[in-house]
Amino acid sequence: MKFRNFIQPRTIAEAYELAQKPDTVILGGMMWMRMQKRTVENAVDLSLLGLDKIEETGEGIRIGAYVSLRQLETSPLLLEYTEGAIKTALCPIVGVQFRNGATLGGSIWGRFGFSDVETVFTALGADVVLAGKGQVPMVEFIKNGAPKDLLTHIILPKKAPDAFAVNAHRNSATDFPVITTAVCRRGDNVRVTVSPAPARGYTEDFSATDMPEIAGNIMKNLKFLASASASLEYKEHLARVLIGRGVKAVGGQ
């Protein structure tokens, strides 16, 4: 990707205003975006907005959109919150140098069906904070997107999960996952998120009393698309097995 202007706003309001302009892109880590074959007028860089912090607030854990994936996986706060699952989930993504560049915001904004990051945060019950629309549940954002808006933060609920498990399958180490699943239990609620690339991520909430049936029930609603990485049948098989393992890990049988 080429751009004619590289703009570094100093406030979120300024960045949001820039996002409304035509032919403008918001830059995350530029990991995949750089490979696009197009030229845009304006590239807006968020690196000077202080969005690179992970903070505990009265509301929960507030994470800036410019926080790198490496910051997420090494944050003592998030490691404790997820009992280490955040590291297990993010470490297989390419390599340390890649994860030092890739940002939380860039990973969420694209609503990629292959994103381990999206799967983790959706299952954890996160909200996204948009400069224009305000705070919305991540499930809603993944479904509808937010054209022309600006993602500034992700907020995790104050209450940590009682149990949380991430299971993914890659055809080879450091590759994109064929499928990523996450299961989060808080009290009686069990949330399952599945990213069956190239289809968008899917999330469903269940009661903990229904745990034995979760893997079977969610399969009825999941949509898969065959791709170069795996056949439809293989993806369905992987989903059933990985969700089953996740449910077992959070206390199901």
Partner 1 sequence: MEIKFLLNKKPVSLEAEPSMPLIDLLRSLGMKSVKCGCENTVCGLCTVLLDEVPVLSCSVPAARADGHSVMTLEGLKAEAEEFVGFIADQGADQCGFCNPGYVMNTIALLRENPDPTDEEIREYLAGNLCRCSGYEGQVRGIRNYLNAKKEGRL
Which residues in this chain contact partner 1 in the complex, by CB under 8 A?
1-6, 8, 27, 29-32, 34-35, 43, 45, 47, 91-92, 94-98, 100-101, 173-174
Identify which of residues 170 and 248 has a Cβ nearer to partner 1 in the complex: 170
Q: Please state the closest distance from residue 30 (CB atom) to partner 1, in A.
A: 5
Nearer to partner 1, 50 or 216 (CB): 50
Residue type, 24: T
d(CA 197, CA 134): 28
**What's the closest the beta carbon of residue 97 comes to partner 1, in angstroms?**
5
For residues 31 and 40, give the distance between their C-alpha atoms in angstroms, rounded to a whole number. Answer: 17
Nearest residue to 194 (alpha-carbon basis) of 174, 208, 178: 178
Residue 59 token pair:
């509301």
Rounded Cα–Cα distance for residues 55 and 63 (Å) = 6
Whole-number Cα distances in Å, 110 to 144, 181, 239 = 12, 18, 22
Least distance from partner 1 to the Cβ atom of residue 223, Å? 28
- C-beta of 69 vs 239, nearer to partner 1: 69
| Least separation in angstroms between CB 29 and partner 1 | 7
Query: CA neighbours within 13 Å on the CB side: how many for 154?
Result: 30
Q: Which lies closer to partner 1 via its Cβ, residue 4 or residue 148?
A: 4
Q: How far apart are the C-alpha atoms of 196 and 238, rounded to whole Å?
A: 10
For partner 1, which is the closer residue by CB, 94 or 136?
A: 94
Q: Give least dist CB 208 to partner 1, A.
A: 34
Instruction: Answer whether 90's CB lies under 8 Å from 72's CB.
Output: yes
